[in-house]
Amino acid sequence: MYAPERQQEILRLARDGGRVDVLSLAEEFQVTAETIRRDLKALDRAGLVRRVHGGAIPAGRLEPDLSERESTAADEKDRIARAALAELPADGSVILDAGSTVSRLAAAFPLECALTVVTHALPVAARLADHPGIDLHLVGGRVRHRTRAAVDAWALRAYGEIRADVVFLGANGFSAEHGLTTPDLAEAAVKRAIVSAARRVVLLADSAKHGEEHFARFGDLAEVDLLITDSGLAPKDAAAIESAGTEVVRA
């Protein structure tokens, strides 16, 4: 099948199903994931689809909501969250970003944890509100319905006043070439603020987000001390990221 034929079929699948994902398309068409990403990039440039983490949605459809992101790559996100537990400090303070993988990390906090936790994400706060050892600080602001995360001036001001030991960061796309990206400018501004508010930055992102590029860029991959992803990230891609200065753990 030639690329234009494959792209036309991908577009049909996206319109019929409301979403397509890279790994399923690669298996269906018997091509590499990178080939599918190039197809999606071409369709995106043509205005026919909109790229999202792990795949694409038909043009005009809104950003995937929280429930949809929670169900995407669930096993991989669980492994990433478990691996991230090793990065929790023995004591001190952490910032937890919005995002389904970071939310899974919050749910996995051991009962013996005694930490100060700051978050602007309502789902994350809900999972830690009853934890006996957590001193929880909820940052306020306008809450985006799609992610249930606080954004805008209030959140930015709050993060400008703190300095945490580590931030656990989420992203919709990451690559050495395009850096860290997310669909929404307001969320990108908050992510930029929390990176600046911590001494150590740990990015939690499943491998399907590698190579993805979204509208709002909020940092360089070089600003990340540690990337925790899953084994779907090719060893050569992990090596390239590490050569740029970011440690990689493939859970």
Does residue 165 share a domain with residue 82?
A: yes
Q: Is the dihedral of CA 39, 41, 45, 51 positive or negative?
A: positive
pLDDT of the residue at 71: 52
Give 61's pLDDT tier (boundaries 50, 70, 90): low
Integer Cα distance of 167 and 146 in angstroms: 22
Question: Quick one: average pLDDT of 41-45?
Answer: 86
Q: What are phi and psi for residue 56, nearest 5 degrees?
A: -155, 160
Domain containing 48 — which CATH number? 1.10.10.10
Contact 165, 198 (CB under 8 A): yes
Note whether residue 66 is domain-resident: no
Does residue 118 share a domain with residue 52?
A: no
Does residue 129 share a domain with residue 41?
A: no
What are 164-218's pLDDT values in tens digits?
999 999 999 999 888 999 988 999 999 999 999 999 999 999 998 998 888 889 9
Does residue 78 share a domain with residue 21?
A: no
Computed over every residue of the chain, the mean pLDDT equals 91
pLDDT of the residue at 177: 86
* DSSP letter string, 186-225: HHHHHHHHHHHTEEEEEEE--GGGBT---SEEEE-GGG-S
153 φψ region: left (φ > 0), alpha (ψ -120 to 50), beta (else):
alpha
How many domains are contained in the chain?
A: 2
Domain containing 205 — which CATH number? 3.40.50.1360
Does residue 224 share a domain with residue 196?
A: yes
User: What residue numbers bound the domain in which 7 lies?
Assistant: 3-61
Does residue 175 share a domain with residue 215?
A: yes
49 vs 222, higher pLDDT? 222
Residue 132 has pLDDT above 80, yes or no: yes
Give 5's pLDDT tier (boundaries 50, 70, 90): confident
Contacts (Cβ under 8 Å, ≥6 apart) of 150:
120, 121, 122, 139, 140, 141, 142, 143, 190
Does residue 155 share a domain with residue 40?
A: no
Q: Taking the model in full, what pTM does it have?
A: 0.74
Does residue 142 share a domain with residue 45?
A: no
- Out of 66-70, 83-87, 176-180, 197-201, least confident range: 66-70
